[in-house]
C-alpha cells in the first residue's frame, strides 16, 4: 500500500512539475568544459559562480568565463564559495583560501606559525580549516580542528590587501574535537554548525549544543542547514553509513528533532541541499536525482526527477537566483529550472485544421460569427472553440484565377464585403452575391488591395493604379461604375499602388501607397510624404495616424486638419529601438489604448508610457507560431479578442490579459577595454573621473544586465556625452566601441529594458577624461610662448647686426668705386698717351686682341688650347718676321677652321661627312705648320654611312691625341709619320665603328713622356667624349664608347696606337632632349 502511495505521489508531482518549470541544461556545448558542478553562488552583481571539479567559472546568463589558476595553485573542486562584506568573492578548497578582487584571483596565505601544527609555513590544509562564514558585522569566523578563529572586518580587509593573514582571535573550544563541514549565520551573531550528529550554536564565545540526531548520522552526512525562524532549523541529511536513506529534518534550538521526509530510491537515497524560495516561500530539497518542492508548511508538493527527464546521474548542489530561477549543479552540467511563462496566446495551426493553404483574413461579423478567409478563395465560419466549417467559396469563370480572401467588412446596410486580390470585390446581402470587377470600371489586370466605407457612404478601394470609389447607395445596380480619383489611370511606376485607406475625423481620406503617404482630391492623389513603402494605416487617439512600412518600422504622424498633418513624425519605432522587426504588415489598436504591430517574425505591443511608449515583443517562445509566415493580418473584435490570421494558421488572445513585467534588471559596466589594457570596475570605480592618456583614446566598454535568464530580449541604449558625441544608440549588443576620441571630459551612460519595453530608472554611469597631448598642455604652450619671444628677439638682433654689416659693405663699395674711378681716369690718360705709338705696335695690339678672342673661343668650344696657342703663336711669329702674306694665309685657314667649329657649336649631332671634313681640315692645318704627317682617310663604300649622325667634335680629339702624343714625339730618323682613319660596321647594321691608327711611339712611351713633362697640356676632351658616349648608352640602351689598343711588331715592340669608337646608328636629337 505504501508503494502505491509513493507511486501516485511521484506521478502527481511529475505532472505538477512539468507545468511549473522550464528546464535547460548548460554543458560543454555552452562553454562549460568541465560539467561536474560542485558549488554555486550568485554574487551581488548578478553573476553565477560555478565551482566545477576541474575548473572555476563565472556565468552571466549567456557565456561562461573560465578562470586560470593563480601561481599554478588549483582553484578547482571548491568546498565553499561566498561573497565577503565588500562584495569580493572568496573561494575555499583543499588548497586554501582564494580571493577574487574584481580583476584576478589571488591566494591568501597565513603567517608562519599562525596555525599550530601546520607542516610548512603558510600551509593551509583541510584538516586545520573546516568551514567559515561572515556575521552581520562582517566578522570572519572560521572553524578549525582546535578551535574557532575570528577576524574583525578591519583585520579581514587588511589581510586581503596584504595577501596574508597575520593574526587570529582564537575562541578556545578544546573540549570538542571539531569537524564541522557546514556552518551558517543565524540571528543576532549566532553561528550554527554541526559536529558529528549534533548541532551547535556559537555566540558570544559560548558554544552550546542545541540538537542531536540519530546515532548513525555523523557530520560527514549532514549536507546543509537552513534556519526557518529564530528557533527552527531545517537540516538536510545524506545517506547514512549503513545505507539508510537520508532526508529532511526539522530541529529546534530546544532539542526537538523531527524527520519531515525520507529519501527513497527515486531520490537516490540522499538529500544534498535545502533552500527556501525567496518569492514563493516554498522549501526546495535537492536530492541526488532531482528537486522536491514543499509548501511553507512543509507539505510535499511536487518532484522534478532530473535523472529521468535529463539523464542526470548525480545532483550535487543548488542555489536560487534573484529572479527565482533554481540552479542545480550536477555531474552532467549546470541545470536551470525557470518558472514557466504564462502563455497568453492560443494558436490554431494550418496543418492541424482545414486551412491547408493558410489564412489571409479574419473578421468578427456583427452577428457574432467569426469568419476566416483563405488563400484559395474559401471562407470559413467558426462553429466551436477549435471547429470551423466552409460557408462560401468565391466562384470563378473559366480559367480565371481565384484570389485569396484578403479582407472582410460589413457596411452600414449590413451587407458583407469580401476583398480578393485577383478577383475583385464581392458583396453578400442575405443570399444575394454581387461581384464588382472589370465590368464596373476596375481596370483589366488590376489588383485590389484594400477597401473602406467613408462617412459620405462612399465605398473606397485601393488598386495597383491608384484609388476609386463606388456610391454605396447605388451598389445594388449591376451597372454601378467605379469613380477613379485620377483623370487617367496610372500604373504603379509612379508609386500609387494603394495598400491601405483610412478616414480621419476631419473627413480626409488618407492613402498608404508603395511610394509614400498621400491624400485624395476630387480627381487626383497628392503624395505628402515620399520614399516610404506603406503596408498598413491605423488611426488612434483621434489625431494620431500610425503608418506601418516595409523596412522602416512604424511612424506616427499628428493630423492637424483637413488633408493636413505634421510631416515630421512624433514617434518612430524600428527594430533598433525595440520593434520586433522593421517590416510591419498589419496594425490594430485595442480598447486598452495599445497598438499591436504584426510582423512576419512576431508581434509587438506598443503601449503608452510616460512621454513615449513601452514596446513588448512576442514570438514562438511566448506561444505564437514557431516559424515565420508570409502573410499576417490583425483584427480586434467587439468582444475584446485580438485575432491574427497568418499563412501558418490562426492565433488569438485577449490584450487585457497580457500582463507586462515592471521588473528591470540592473545594468552594470563590466570592464573597459583599451588598446592594450583591460580595466575592471575595481580599477575605475573609486577614481572619478578616470584619466586616460591622449594616445589611448579608442576603447570598448562592456556592460550587461544583472540577470541569469535569457538575455536575447534585453535591449540597451547608451550615449556618450562630451566632445562631439551626441545621440542615443539602441542595441542588443553588450558592448560599445568608440574610436579616436578627442581630448575632453566624457560621461558614458547605459540603460536597459526588459522584454516588455520597461526601461531601468537609473543608468550605469562611467566618467572619464581623455587628457590632451603634451603639446596642448598649458605648461607646454607657455614654454612655446617663451621660446617664441626668445626667437623673435634673436631674429631682431640678427636683423640689426645684418643692417650694420650691409652699411659697412656699402661704405667699402663706395671707397672701391672711387678708387676704380681714379684708376680708370689714369688708364684713360695712359691710353691717350699710347695713341701716338707706331703702326706696327698698333697692329701687334690688334693681333694680340684677336688672338686672345680666338683662344677664349677655343676654350669655350673645348678645342685643345695647346693647338690654338701654337697656331696663333706661329701666325704671330710670321707677323713679327714681316711674312705678312704667309701670316694672312695662316690666319685665313685658321679662321675657316674656327668657323666650322663655331657653326657646329650649337649642334649636338652632325653628319659624319661634316665631322670628317673638319678632321681633314684640322690635319691639313697641322701639316701646314709642320708638314710631317701623311694622313689617309678610308671612306666607307656605302654613301648612306656618311649621312649618319654622330656626336659633334667626336673624332677630332682622338686625331689630335694621336698627333700630339704619338706622332710628334717620333724621331724623324725612324721613318714617315702616318695617320689613318677607317670605318666598319657589325653584321646587323646596328653599330658604326670608327678606327683611328697611328705609327707613333705607342702608349707606354707616351705615358713616360707625360710623367717626365707634367707641365704639358692634358686634354679634357677625351673624358668629356666618354661622358657623352655614356649618355648615349643610357638614353638609347645601346652600346656606345671607345677603346684603345696597341700596334706591335712580331717581337711585340710598339709600332703605334689605335682606337675604336663605337656608336649606334639612327641617333636623333630627341635622345639628347
Q: What are the Cα distances from residue 783, in Å, to 694, 775, 794, 857, 1037?
A: 20, 10, 17, 63, 59
C-alpha cell at 65: 568565463
> In whole angstroms, what is the distance from residue 835 CA to residue 831 CA?
7
Report pLDDT for 121: 43
Domains 667-772 and 907-1072 share a fold: no
Of 1062, 1067, 1065, nearest in space to 1042 by CA:
1062
Of 246, 233, 272, 225, nearest in space to 39 by CA:
272
Q: Which residues pair with 765 in a beta bridge?
A: 749
Greater confidence, 667 or 238? 667
Which residue has 648612306 as its cell numbers? 944
Segment among 17-31, 538-552, 654-668, 1034-1048 with least mean pLDDT: 17-31
Q: Residue 1023 above 80 pLDDT?
A: no
C-alpha cell at 852: 686672345
Report pLDDT for 476: 61
Mean pLDDT of all residues belonging to the chain: 81
> In whole angstroms, what is the distance from residue 418 CA to residue 373 CA?
9
Which residue has 598649458 as its cell numbers? 778
Segment among 15-24, 534-543, 727-736, 782-791 with least mean pLDDT: 15-24
The DSSP secondary structure of 582-622, one letter per residue, reads SBEEEEEE-TTS-EEEEESS-EEEEEEETTEEEEEEE-GGG
Question: What is the tens place of the pLDDT at every residue in 197-217?
Answer: 778 887 776 777 887 777 666
The mean per-residue pLDDT over the stretch 531-544 comes to 93
256 confidence band (pLDDT: 50, 70, 90): confident
Report pLDDT for 840: 63
Please name the residue ranges forming H helices in 835-942.
Answer: 839-860, 865-880, 884-903, 912-930
**Cβ atoms of 329 and 38 closer than 8 Å:** yes
Q: Residue 816 above 70 pLDDT?
A: yes
Question: What is the tens place of the pLDDT at every residue in 764-806?
Answer: 999 999 988 878 778 888 999 999 999 999 999 999 998 999 9
Question: What is the tens place of the pLDDT at every residue in 140-178?
Answer: 887 776 677 788 888 888 888 877 777 666 665 544 444
Q: CATH for 667-772?
A: 2.60.40.10
Cβ-in-10-Å burial (0-12, 13-18, 19+) of 373 comes to: buried
Report pLDDT for 240: 65
561 confidence band (pLDDT: 50, 70, 90): very high
Report pLDDT for 836: 66
> In whole angstroms, what is the distance from residue 717 CA to residue 732 CA?
9
pLDDT more than 90, % of the chain:
22
8-state DSSP, 19:
H
Q: Which of 2.40.50.140, 1.20.1370.20, 3.30.565.10, 3.30.930.10 is the CATH number of 907-1072?
A: 3.30.565.10
Question: What is the tens place of the pLDDT at every residue in 567-623?
Answer: 999 999 999 888 999 999 999 999 988 999 999 989 999 999 888 889 999 888 788
Q: Where are the domains of the chain?
A: 667-772, 837-904, 907-1072
Segment among 74-88, 471-485, 590-604 with least mean pLDDT: 471-485
Residues 6+ apart with CB under 8 A from 564: 508
Question: What is the tens place of the pLDDT at every residue in 902-951?
Answer: 777 667 788 888 888 888 878 877 776 666 788 888 888 777 888 888 88
Angle between helices 839-860 and 884-903 (to 10 degrees): 30
Q: Residue 1042 above 50 pLDDT?
A: yes
Q: What is the CA radius of gyration of the chain?
A: 55
pTM across the whole model: 0.64
Of 48-62, 65-79, 258-272, where does the model show the most confidence? 48-62
352 confidence band (pLDDT: 50, 70, 90): low
Sheet with 667-673, edge to edge strand ranges:
678-679, 667-673, 699-705, 735-738
The mean per-residue pLDDT over the stretch 348-366 comes to 76
Q: What SS3 class is residue 426?
A: strand
Containing H/E element for 153? helix 153-162
The mean per-residue pLDDT over the stretch 329-356 comes to 77
Q: What are the Cα distances from residue 520, in Å, to 189, 455, 568, 654?
A: 79, 14, 20, 36
Q: What SS3 class is residue 809?
A: helix
- For the chain, what's the residue count? 1073
C-alpha cell at 562: 483637413
Which region holds residue 146: left if phi is over 0, alpha if psi is between -120 and 50, else beta? alpha
Please name the residue ranges forming H helices in 267-408.
Answer: 306-310
> In whole angstroms, what is the distance from residue 1003 CA to residue 1025 CA?
19
Amino acid at each position: 500500500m505504501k508503494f502505491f502511495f509513493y507511486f501516485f505521489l511521484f506521478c502527481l508531482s511529475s505532472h505538477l512539475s512539468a507545468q511549473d518549470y522550464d528546464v535547460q541544461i548548460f554543458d560543454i556545448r555552452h562553454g562549460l568544459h568541465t560539467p561536474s558542478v560542485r558549488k554555486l553562488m550568485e554574487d551581488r552583481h548578478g553573476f553565477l559562480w560555478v565551482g566545477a571539479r576541474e575548473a572555476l567559472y563565472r556565468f552571466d546568463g549567456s557565456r561562461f568565463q573560465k578562470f586560470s589558476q593563480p601561481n599554478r595553485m588549483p582553484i578547482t573542486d571548491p568546498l565553499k564559495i561566498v561573497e565577503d562584506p565588500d562584495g569580493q568573492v572568496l573561494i575555499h578548497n583543499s588548497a586554501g583560501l582564494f580571493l577574487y578582487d574584481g580583476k584576478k584571483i589571488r591566494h591568501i596565505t597565513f603567517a608562519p606559525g599562525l596555525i599550530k601544527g601546520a607542516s610548512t609555513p603558510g600551509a593551509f590544509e583541510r584538516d586545520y580549516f573546516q568551514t567559515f562564514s561572515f556575521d552581520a558585522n562582517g566578522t570572519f569566523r572560521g572553524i578549525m580542528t582546535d578551535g574557532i578563529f575570528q577576524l574583525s572586518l578591519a583585520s579581514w580587509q587588511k589581510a586581503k590587501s596584504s595577501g596574508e593573514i597575520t593574526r587570529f582571535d582564537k575562541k578556545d573550544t578544546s573540549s570538542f574535537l571539531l569537524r564541522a563541514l557546514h556552518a551558517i549565520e543565524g540571528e543576532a551573531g549566532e553561528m550554527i554548525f554541526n559536529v558529528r550528529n549534533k548541532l551547535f550554536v556559537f555566540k558570544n564565545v559560548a558554544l552550546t549544543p542545541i540538537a542531536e540526531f540519530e546515532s548513525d548520522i555523523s557530520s560527514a552526512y549532514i549536507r546543509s542547514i537552513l534556519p526557518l525562524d529564530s528557533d527552527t532549523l531545517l537540516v538536510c541529511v545524506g545517506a547514512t553509513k549503513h545505507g539508510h536513506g537520508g532526508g529532511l529534518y526539522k530541529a529546534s534550538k530546544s532539542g526537538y528533532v523531527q524527520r519531515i521526509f525520507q529519501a527513497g530510491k527515486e531520490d537516490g537515497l540522499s538529500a544534498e541541499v535545502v533552500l527556501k524560495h525567496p518569492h514563493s516561500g516554498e522549501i526546495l530539497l535537492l536530492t541526488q536525482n532531482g528537486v522536491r518542492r514543499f509548501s511553507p508548511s512543509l507539505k510535499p508538493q511536487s518532484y522534478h526527477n532530473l535523472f529521468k527527464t535529463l539523464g542526470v546521474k548525480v545532483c550535487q548542489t543548488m542555489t536560487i537566483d534573484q529572479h527565482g530561477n533554481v540552479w542545480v549543479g550536477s555531474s552532467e552540467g549546470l541545470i536551470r529550472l525557470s518558472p514557466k511563462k504564462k502563455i497568453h496566446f492560443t494558436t490554431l495551426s494550418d496543418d492541424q485544421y482545414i486551412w491547408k493553404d493558410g489564412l489571409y483574413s479574419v473578421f468578427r461579423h456583427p452577428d457574432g460569427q467569426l469568419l476566416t478567409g483563405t488563400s484559395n478563395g474559401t471562407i470559413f465560419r467558426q462553429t466551436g472553440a477549435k471547429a470551423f466549417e466552409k460557408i462560401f467559396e468565391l466562384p470563378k469563370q473559366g480559367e480565371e484565377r481565384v484570389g485569396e480572401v484578403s479582407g472582410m467588412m460589413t457596411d452600414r446596410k449590413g451587407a458583407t464585403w469580401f476583398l480578393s486580390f485577383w478577383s475583385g470585390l464581392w458583396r453578400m446581402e442575405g443570399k444575394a452575391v454581387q461581384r464588382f470587377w472589370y465590368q464596373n470600371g476596375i481596370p483589366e489586370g488590376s489588383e485590389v488591395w484594400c477597401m473602406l466605407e467613408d462617412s459620405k457612404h462612399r465605398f473606397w478601394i485601393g488598386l495597383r493604379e491608384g484609388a476609386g470609389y463606388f456610391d454605396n447607395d447605388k451598389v445594388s445596380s449591376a451597372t454601378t461604375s467605379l469613380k477613379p480619383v485620377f483623370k487617367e489611370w496610372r500604373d504603379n511606376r509612379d508609386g500609387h499602388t494603394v495598400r491601405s485607406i483610412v478616414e480621419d475625423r476631419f473627413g480626409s481620406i488618407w492613402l498608404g501607397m508603395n511610394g509614400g503617404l498621400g491624400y485624395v482630391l476630387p480627381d487626383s492623389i497628392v503624395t505628402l510624404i515620399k520614399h516610404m513603402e506603406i503596408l498598413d494605416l491605423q488611426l488612434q487617439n483621434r489625431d494620431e495616424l500610425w503608418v506601418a512600412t516595409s523596412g522602416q518600422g512604424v511612424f506616427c504622424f499628428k493630423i492637424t486638419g483637413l488633408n493636413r498633418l505634421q510631416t515630421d513624425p512624433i514617434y518612430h519605432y524600428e527594430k533598433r529601438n525595440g520593434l520586433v522587426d522593421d517590416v510591419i504588415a498589419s496594425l490594430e489598436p485595442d480598447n486598452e489604448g495599445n497598438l499591436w504591430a504584426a510582423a512576419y517574425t512576431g508581434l509587438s505591443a506598443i503601449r503608452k508610457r510616460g512621454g513615449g511608449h513601452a514596446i513588448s515583443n512576442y514570438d514562438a517562445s511566448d506561444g505564437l507560431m514557431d516559424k515565420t509566415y508570409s502573410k499576417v493580418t490583425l483584427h480586434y473584435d467587439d468582444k475584446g479578442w485580438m485575432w491574427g490570421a497568418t499563412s501558418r494558421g490562426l492565433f488569438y488572445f485577449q490584450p487585457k490579459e497580457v500582463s507586462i513585467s515592471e521588473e528591470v534588471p540592473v545594468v552594470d559596466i563590466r570592464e573597459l577595454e583599451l588598446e592594450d589594457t583591460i580595466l575592471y570596475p575595481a580599477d575605475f570605480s573609486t577614481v572619478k573621473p578616470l584619466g586616460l592618456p591622449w594616445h589611448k583614446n579608442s576603447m570598448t566598454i562592456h556592460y550587461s544586465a544583472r540577470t541569469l535568464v535569457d538575455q536575447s530580449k534585453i535591449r540597451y541604449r547608451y550615449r556618450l556625452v562630451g566632445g562631439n558625441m551626441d545621440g542615443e544608440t539602441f542595441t542588443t549588443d553588450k558592448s560599445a566601441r568608440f574610436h579616436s576620441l578627442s581630448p575632453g571630459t566624457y560621461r558614458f551612460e547605459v540603460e536597459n529594458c526588459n522584454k516588455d519595453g520597461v526601461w531601468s530608472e537609473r543608468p550605469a554611469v562611467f566618467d572619464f577624461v581623455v587628457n590632451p597631448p603634451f603639446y596642448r598642455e598649458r605648461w607646454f604652450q607657455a614654454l612655446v610662448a617663451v621660446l617664441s619671444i626668445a626667437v623673435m628677439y634673436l631674429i631682431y638682433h640678427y636683423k640689426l647686426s645684418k643692417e650694420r654689416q650691409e652699411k659697412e659693405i656699402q661704405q667699402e663699395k663706395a671707397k672701391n668705386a672711387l678708387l676704380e674711378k681714379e684708376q680708370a681716369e689714369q688708364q684713360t690718360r695712359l691710353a691717350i698717351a699710347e695713341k701716338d705709338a707706331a703702326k706696327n705696335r698698333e697692329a701687334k695690339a690688334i693681333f694680340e686682341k684677336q688672338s686672345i678672342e680666338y683662344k677664349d673661343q677655343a676654350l669655350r668650344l673645348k678645342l685643345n688650347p695647346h693647338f690654338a696657342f701654337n697656331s696663333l703663336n706661329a701666325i704671330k711669329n710670321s707677323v713679327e718676321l714681316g711674312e705678312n702674306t704667309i701670316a694672312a694665309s695662316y690666319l685665313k685657314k685658321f679662321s675657316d677652321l674656327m668657323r666650322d667649329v663655331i657653326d657646329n657649336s650649337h649642334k649636338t649631332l652632325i653628319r659624319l661627312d661634316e665631322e670628317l671634313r673638319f678632321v681633314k681640315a684640322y690635319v691639313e692645318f697641322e701639316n701646314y705648320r709642320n708638314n710631317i704627317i701623311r694622313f689617309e682617310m678610308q671612306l666607307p663604300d656605302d654613301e648612306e654611312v656618311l649621312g649618319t649622325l654622330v656626336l659633334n667634335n667626336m673624332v677630332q680629339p682622338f686625331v689630335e691625341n694621336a698627333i700630339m702624343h704619338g706622332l710628334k714625339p717620333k724621331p724623324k730618323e725612324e721613318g714617315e709619320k702616318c695617320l689613318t682613319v677607317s670605318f666598319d660596321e657589325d653584321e646587323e647594321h646596328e653599330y658604326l665603328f670608327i678606327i683611328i691608327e697611328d705609327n707613333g711611339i705607342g702608349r707606354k712611351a707616351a705615358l713616360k713622356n707625360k710623367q717626365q713633362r707634367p707641365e704639358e697640356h692634358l686634354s679634357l676632351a677625351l673624358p668629356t667624349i666618354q661622358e657623352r658616349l655614356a649618355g648615349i648608352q643610357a638614353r638609347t640602351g645601346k652600346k656606345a664608347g671607345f677603346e684603345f689598343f696597341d700596334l706591335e711588331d712580331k717581337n711585340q715592340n710598339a709600332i703605334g696606337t689605335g682606337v675604336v669608337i663605337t656608336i649606334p646608328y639612327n641617333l636623333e636629337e630627341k635622345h639628347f632632349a
